[in-house]
Amino acid sequence: MIEKNYKEDFPLLQTNKTIYIDNAATAQKPAVVIEAEKRFYEESNANPLRGFYPLSLAATEAYEDARKVVRDFIHADSEKEIIFTSGGTESNNLAIIGAAMANRRAGNHIITTSIEHASVENPMEFLKEQGFEITYLSVDENGIISLEELEEAVTEQTILVSMMQVNNEIGAIEPVAEAAELIKKKNPDTLIHVDAIQSYGKMYIYPKKLGIDMLSVSGHKIHGPKGSGFLWVKEKTKLKPLILGGGQQKGMRSGTENVPAIAGLGEAAEEIYENLDEKRAHLYGLKQRFIDGIEKLEGTHVNGKTGEDSAPHIVSVSFEGIRSEVLLHSLEDRGIYVSSGSACSSNNHAGKQKGSKTLRNIHLKENLLDSTLRFSFSVHTTEEEIDYALEVLGELLPVLKKYTRH
């Protein structure tokens, strides 16, 4: 049981008494992160790494301090391996498109999984249009790839494998270390990119130990500012920049550095990794409490693994006979905020199949595809909030089923 009342650290949760369990979409901001951004504007608002006057030196210090923090938590060899970005989407795009374009003379084959986030899936579609061959790995009913299928897919032409560490919809944890080992054994020149956007801050991640070459992180998923994130790139990895201009960050990401957001990201990283074991235990306890309650409700189905071999903060639940949109709004009316699947896949592109790609690829029954919600917890979530959410669900489900269209 977690001892500290973390809810006190979040100003919005003091003034807004709703129950926020949509943290995989975006996490609320603690006071230290808000203050870090505010302090920059009040005390050191200048461009970093440019001038020698006090304001610029203070901005440089804030920038470098944050870079050192994120470097240390992933045990990177150097701050030079950290490229600050505007978030997970940019990090994924830079890793995938940048690596593909820089290494296309070595081959034109890329491997990914069938359950990736849109910020990986859409760059893959773009590269396919550029003449690259893309292999999509299937997953089992728990959202886990087959290492045998992966090994068979790697060829001499494979220049990149990109996979998520934690799935954003059902919380599946992919076998990244095992995958990296077999990839490098079969083709040592293949680059490996990992989308760690849902795993960073929820587990200890050491990319060199994992045997990978690039790692994407988003700030707002770990209580940091929106518009912040970073890409770790192993030294000597060939990468082509996507944004050209003034040559900032050694030419890899031009544009004036967003130092207030970067400073907030540094604070968020320090906060999220402080007492991480205690926080993980708290999250797993909440998850089990929620699942135990859900399984007592008629017509519910928890998707994917549910133990400590799954992410500590994500639970995907299907509700037979109830459209997710209807249940979502009914929960909102009772002050409970959740989401239907991925927050970034709710707007389907024209021509694409409706419904969650992840749920389809784990072979969820057709009648449950439009009846699934994602509940995602954070350090500030309490047992009382879990119990209230379960109580409300217990009241709503029988009522909403009466109005189901057959």
Q: Active site residue: 256, 344, 346, 395, which one?
A: 344
Closest to 227 measured CA to CA, from 73, 87, 396: 87
The whole-number pLDDT of residue 128 equals 98
Residue-wise pLDDT for 349-367, tens only, equals: 434 556 799 999 999 999 9
Residue-wise pLDDT for 210-264, tens only, equals: 999 999 999 999 999 999 999 999 999 999 999 999 999 999 999 999 999 999 9
Domain boundary among 238, 273, 308: 273
CATH of the domain at 361: 3.90.1150.10
Does 337 share its domain with 219?
Answer: no
Is 68 domain-assigned?
yes
Does 252 share its domain with 285?
Answer: no
Does 111 share its domain with 159?
Answer: yes
The whole-number pLDDT of residue 51 equals 87
Does 154 share its domain with 239?
Answer: yes
Which tokens go with 265? 């990201």
**What is the total count of domains within the chain?**
2
Is 1 domain-assigned?
no
Which tokens go with 344? 């970034």
This model's pTM is above 0.85: yes
CB 312 within 8 A of CB 283: yes
Close Cβ partners of 60 (under 8 Å, ≥ 6 residues apart): 48, 49
Is 406 domain-assigned?
no
Residue-wise pLDDT for 66-77, tens only, equals: 999 999 999 999
CATH of the domain at 172: 3.40.640.10
Is 106 domain-assigned?
yes
Long-range CB contacts (< 8 A, 24+ apart) of 272-277? 272/201, 272/222, 272/223, 273/73, 273/201, 276/201, 276/204
Does 20 share its domain with 88?
Answer: no
Residue-wise pLDDT for 29-53, tens only, equals: 999 999 999 999 999 999 999 889 9
Residue-wise pLDDT for 58-114, tens only, equals: 999 999 999 999 999 999 999 999 999 999 999 999 999 999 999 999 999 999 999
Does 305 share its domain with 363?
Answer: yes
The whole-number pLDDT of residue 403 equals 72
Domain boundary among 273, 297, 317: 273
Does 121 share its domain with 230?
Answer: yes
Is 116 domain-assigned?
yes
Q: CA angle, 160 as apex, 203 and 109 as ends, to 5°? A: 145
CB 166 within 8 A of CB 198: yes
Scored b (16 or more CB within 10 A) or e, 306-320 reads beeebbbbbbbbbbe
Distance, CA of 135 to CA of 324 (rounded, Å): 31
Phi first, then psi, for residue 142 (nearest 5°) are -100, 5
Q: Quick one: which H or E segment has residue 241?
A: none
**344: annotated active-site residue:** yes
Does 300 share its domain with 351?
Answer: yes
Domain boundary among 255, 273, 291: 273
**Model confidence at 348: pLDDT above 50:** no
Does 226 share its domain with 88?
Answer: yes
Does 256 share its domain with 293?
Answer: no
Question: What average pLDDT does the chain have?
Answer: 95
Does 250 share its domain with 355?
Answer: no
Is 387 domain-assigned?
yes
Is 329 domain-assigned?
yes
Is 206 domain-assigned?
yes
Does 155 share its domain with 11?
Answer: no
**Model confidence at 345: pLDDT above 70:** no
Q: pLDDT > 70: what percent of the chain?
A: 95
Write out the residue range of the structural domain in which residue 10 sits: 6-30+276-401
